[in-house]
Amino acid sequence: MAEPDYPEFKTYSARLRLVALFVVITLFLAVWSYSYWISQPPPVIWSSILFAALIVATAIDLRSYILPDWITLPLVLIGLWVGGNFGSGYFWACIGALFGFGLIAGLRWLWLRQRGIEAIGLGDAKLLAAGGAWLGPAGIPLSLLVASTMAILVMLLSGQAQGRQAIPFGPFLAVGIWFAWCLGHLIAG
């Protein structure tokens, strides 16, 4: 007797593998970074707000390839306040937000000009602006390193590296921001 053919499993198999790999890598990074984070945790309420917003942004971006303003912009404002009061100060929180937004928006503009393709969205720029506000400019390189490394690994392991299928970058940015937030005291010192 032949196996039944379930086309819905074939349709979602690549996405399911991508999500599963993303979850495994995220859990590994969370467990690894937690050992550093417990020695000097930031105020729990702010960490909870950041974590919840990053989870919601990830879920929406995975489903719709959109990072809505109603998540990213309040996250920038709260990050400016948290960075100003608990981080390196308001000046560096503002510089971090501008640097984060400018970096992604600049790459987007450059790619659009050179190739005629919108390779990354402004939602990603706003999310990195939020990360810059929370972390300061010193946290952006680590956030991008983690995000880019994870995105490349997921693309290679899921077989999407050869194709031109778009992948949402927001979830990877969210993990990179969270990772840098958890290791923030090591970045500063």
Q: With helix as H, strand as E and coil as C, how does 85-127 read?
A: HHCCCHHHHHHHHHHHHHHHHHHHHHHHHHHCCCCCCHHHHHH
Record the tokens describing residue 33, joined without a space: 């970074």
For residue 177, is pLDDT > 80?
yes
Strands (E), the chain: none
Phi-psi region of 66 (alpha: psi -120 to 50; beta: other; left: phi over 0): beta
Residue-wise pLDDT for 112-148, tens only, equals: 999 888 889 999 999 999 999 999 999 999 999 999 9
Supply the pLDDT for residue 117. 83
State the amino acid at position 34 in one-letter form: Y
For residue 36, is pLDDT > 70?
no
Of residues 102 and 17, more confidence is placed in 102
Record the tokens describing residue 36, joined without a space: 């550093």
DSSP one-letter code for 4: P
CA dist., res. 58 & res. 54, Å (int): 6
Supply the pLDDT for residue 28. 63
10 Å CB burial of residue 122 (0-12, 13-18, 19+) is: middle
Supply the pLDDT for residue 14. 61
pTM listed for this prediction: 0.77
149-176 average pLDDT score: 84
DSSP one-letter code for 162: S
CA dist., res. 94 & res. 77, Å (int): 10
Mean pLDDT of all residues belonging to the chain = 81
Q: Does residue 148 contact residue 175 with C-beta atoms inside 8 Å?
A: no
CA dist., res. 150 & res. 155, Å (int): 8
CA dist., res. 51 & res. 142, Å (int): 17
Supply the pLDDT for residue 153. 87
8-37 average pLDDT score: 59
CA geometry: angle 187, 130, 67, nearest 5 deg: 130
For residue 10, is pLDDT > 80?
no
